[in-house]
Amino acid sequence: MARKFLYLVVGLIVLALAANFAYRFWGIELLRQALVPSAEVARLSAPGDYGRADLWLARPDKPGNPALWTPDGFQPAENPPAAVFFVHPTSFLDRTQWNAPLNDVAANARAELFLRGQASAFNSSGLVWAPRYRQATFGAFLTSKAQAQQALDFAYRDVLAAFDQFLKEAGNRPIILAGHSQGALHLSRLLVDRVAGKPLAKRIVAAYVVGWPVSITADLPKMGLPACSGPDETGCILSWQSFAEPADPSLILDTFDQTNGFTGQPRKGTPMVCTNPLTGKPNDGAPMEANLGGLLPSRDLSSAVLQKNLVPARCDGRGFLMIGNSPPELGPYVLPGNNYHVFDYSLFWANVRADAERRLKARRKLWPF
């Protein structure tokens, strides 16, 4: 498993190179031309039967489960007490269609790489389920076309169906929700539809809505859980978006500020949830010495090692996470604007792992299962 581990982002090499080159030299319009589909959204069938094992990238009974990967010195728990529902980020880069087929070999292989570097942080706390879903292609995030929202809605239907099946299979275990990027977007909608105002909210250890902006005033009131106010709090939401300095988050804010939140109120100018993954505290700062370990790839990208004191972290401005002005050299994977989006989990892998363990312990004291 480790030999196949390409540090989350081998599948995004083409994306990152294209994004940096096109954005820096020709701007967002040519980036859109390169990545936004021109086709109409196909009429997709209803979600599949998520009782079938083959519709999951990770589940407790899956041989070769990619979410069970760990770096040297760590092991997944044999029978962890919680159940983890993880929604992977965009791994479909095709511009010929808006939604990924469930059997797309390249997209599924990239998604498995994401699970190794992201979902693996939770395998000491819970059994991990991660569905295949007909994700929207990357270009859907670069346009305001109606087809883009339709593609995201199609993807979300699959995530909801998978989550409902997950609840049946997870039994009465405490639940950790986690996702990244497109996966975090779907997770935020799921919180509104399946958690807010429901008895299920009492079972949530924490929701890691990472790599997607969450407005404190326009989104959070409808998401059913508060933002985490401290490292030992449970039943709360964590979120962060990583940038090196000097940071230029305009590509995110330009889109974010044109939309309304779950409350119906404009997101423009509103502060975003920013949890410091090094401390588990909101709007906090911490030196690199607080970093328990982030993942770094080998030269041939065949494995990864954990390095302590990798980067500092502090919440700044409207709610972006700054990782200093001298982060490790990660090549073409860094996106325009010094955006370390791809590394939101991996830079803080050991801290995220410890955070989930700590919040689970606190949850079990309040609600024994």
- Arithmetic mean of pLDDT, 320-326: 95
- Arithmetic mean of pLDDT, 333-348: 92
Mind listing the pLDDT tens digit for each residue in 197-233? Answer: 999 999 999 999 999 999 999 999 999 999 999 999 9
- The pLDDT score that the predictor gives to residue 304 is 85
- Is the predicted pLDDT of residue 123 greater than 60, yes or no? yes
> Quick one: pLDDT band at residue 138, thresholds 50, 70, 90?
confident
Sign of CA dihedral 282, 367, 217, 335: positive
- The pLDDT score that the predictor gives to residue 130 is 98
Q: Higher model confidence: residue 192 or residue 37?
A: 192
CB under 8 Å to 176, separation ≥6 — which residues? 82, 83, 84, 85, 122, 125, 126, 204, 205, 206, 207, 208, 356, 360
- The pLDDT score that the predictor gives to residue 42 is 63
- The pLDDT score that the predictor gives to residue 7 is 36
**pTM here?**
0.91
- The pLDDT score that the predictor gives to residue 132 is 96
> Quick one: pLDDT band at residue 334, thresholds 50, 70, 90?
confident
- Is the predicted pLDDT of residue 21 greater than 50, yes or no? no
SS3 annotation, 155-167: HHHHHHHHHHHHH
The percentage of residues in the chain with a pLDDT greater than 90, rounded to a whole number, is 71
> Quick one: pLDDT band at residue 32, thresholds 50, 70, 90?
low
- Is the predicted pLDDT of residue 11 greater than 50, yes or no? no
Exposed, middle or buried by CB within 10 Å (0-12, 13-18, 19+), for 117? buried
Q: What is the mean pLDDT of the chain?
A: 88
Parallel, antiparallel, or unpaired for β 320-322 and 242-243? Answer: parallel
Mind listing the pLDDT tens digit for each residue in 66-97? Answer: 999 999 999 999 999 999 999 999 998 877 88
Instruction: Name all contacts of 294-300 with Cβ < 8 Å and 24+ positions apart.
Output: 294/343, 294/346, 294/347, 294/348, 294/349, 294/350, 295/7, 295/8, 295/71, 295/117, 295/346, 295/347, 295/349, 296/7, 296/328, 297/6, 297/7
> What are the Cα distances from residue 86, in Å, to 26, 179, 210, 232?
36, 5, 11, 21
- Is the predicted pLDDT of residue 33 greater than 80, yes or no? no
The percentage of residues in the chain with a pLDDT greater than 70, rounded to a whole number, is 86
